[in-house]
Amino acid sequence: MSGQLTAPAASEPVRIGDGRRRGFATLLAVDLWERFSFYGMAAILVLYLTASEARGGMGMAPQTATALFAGYMALSFLAGMPGGWLADRVLGAHRAVLLGGTLIACGHAALAARSPTALYGGLLLIVAGTGLVKPAMAAMVAALSGEGEGRREAAFSLFYLCIQVSALVAPVVTGLLAEKIAWHLGFAAAAAGMTVGLVVFALGLRRFGQVGRRPVCPLTHDEAVRVLRRAGLIVTAAAVLLGLAAAAGVLGVNGVLACLGLGTVVLPFAYLRSLRPLRPRDQDTGEGAGRHSGLAGFTALMAASSVFWMIFAQSGSVLGLFAQRHTDRHVFGFEIPAGWFQSLHPLFVLPAAPLFTRLCRRAGQRADAPVKFSGALVAAGLSFLLMAAAALLAERGPVGPGWLLPVHLLYACGEISLAPAGLALAASVAPPGHTSRFLAVNGLFGAAGIVIGGQLFRLTAVLPLPLYFLLLGGTALGTGAVVGLGAGRLRRLLP
Contact residues for 340 (Cβ-Cβ < 8 A; gap 6+): 171, 172, 175, 176
| Torsion 445-124-274-238 (CA) sign | positive
**How large is the average pLDDT for residues 381-396?**
94
69, part of any domain:
yes
- Domain of residue 58, CATH code: 1.20.1250.20
Q: Among the ranges 22-26, 249-253, 312-316, which has the highest mean pLDDT value?
A: 312-316
Q: How far apart are CA 370 and CA 368, in angstroms?
A: 6
450, part of any domain:
yes
213, part of any domain:
yes
Give 134-163 pLDDT, tens digit per residue: 888 877 877 776 555 566 666 766 776 667
Q: Among the ranges 19-33, 269-283, 397-411, which has the highest mean pLDDT value?
A: 397-411
Is the CB of residue 65 less than 8 Å from the CB of residue 50? yes
Specify the pLDDT at position 377: 95
Specify the pLDDT at position 9: 34
Q: How far apart are CA 390 and CA 466, in angstroms?
A: 8
Range of the domain at 92: 21-249+260-275+291-493
**How large is the average pLDDT for residues 282-297?**
51
Confidence of residue 11 (pLDDT cuts 50, 70, 90): very low
Confidence of residue 381 (pLDDT cuts 50, 70, 90): very high
2, part of any domain:
no
**How large is the average pLDDT for residues 182-203?**
85
Specify the pLDDT at position 307: 94
Q: How far apart are CA 63 and CA 56, in angstroms?
A: 19
Specify the pLDDT at position 249: 59
150 against 267, higher pLDDT:
267
Specify the pLDDT at position 421: 83
Amino acid at 144: L
User: What average pLDDT does the chain have?
Assistant: 79
Least confident segment among 158-172, 176-190, 236-250, 460-474: 236-250
Specify the pLDDT at position 436: 65
10, part of any domain:
no
Specify the pLDDT at position 160: 67
322, part of any domain:
yes
Antiparallel, parallel or unpaired: β 330-331 and 334-335: antiparallel
Q: How far apart are CA 430 and CA 439, in angstroms?
A: 8
Least confident segment among 47-51, 214-218, 444-448: 214-218
| Helix or strand holding residue 36 (H, E) | helix 21-50
- CA-nearest of 450, 452, 447, 451 to 131 is 447
Quick check: 103 pLDDT over 90?
yes
How many structural domains does the chain have? 1
Is the CB of residue 495 less than 8 Å from the CB of residue 429? yes
| Helix or strand holding residue 335 (H, E) | strand 334-335
- In the chain, pLDDT over 90 holds for what percent of residues? 16
15, part of any domain:
no
- In the chain, pLDDT over 70 holds for what percent of residues? 80
Quick check: 226 pLDDT over 50?
yes
Give 164-178 pLDDT, tens digit per residue: 788 888 898 988 888
Q: Write the DSSP assignment of 106-153 as a string of letters.
A: HHHHHHTS-SHHHHHHHHHHHHHHHHHHHHHHHHHHHHHH-SSHHHHH
Is the CB of residue 186 less than 8 Å from the CB of residue 37? no
7, part of any domain:
no
Quick check: 243 pLDDT over 90?
no
**How large is the average pLDDT for residues 76-103?**
84
Q: How far apart are CA 172 and CA 174, in angstroms?
A: 6
Specify the pLDDT at position 278: 61
Specify the pLDDT at position 17: 47
Is the CB of residue 425 less than 8 Å from the CB of residue 296? no
Q: Is 345 exposed, middle or buried (0-12, 13-18, 19+ CB in 10 A)?
A: buried
Maximum Cα–Cα distance across the chain: 71
Quick check: 88 pLDDT over 90?
no
Residue 281: strand, helix, or coil: strand
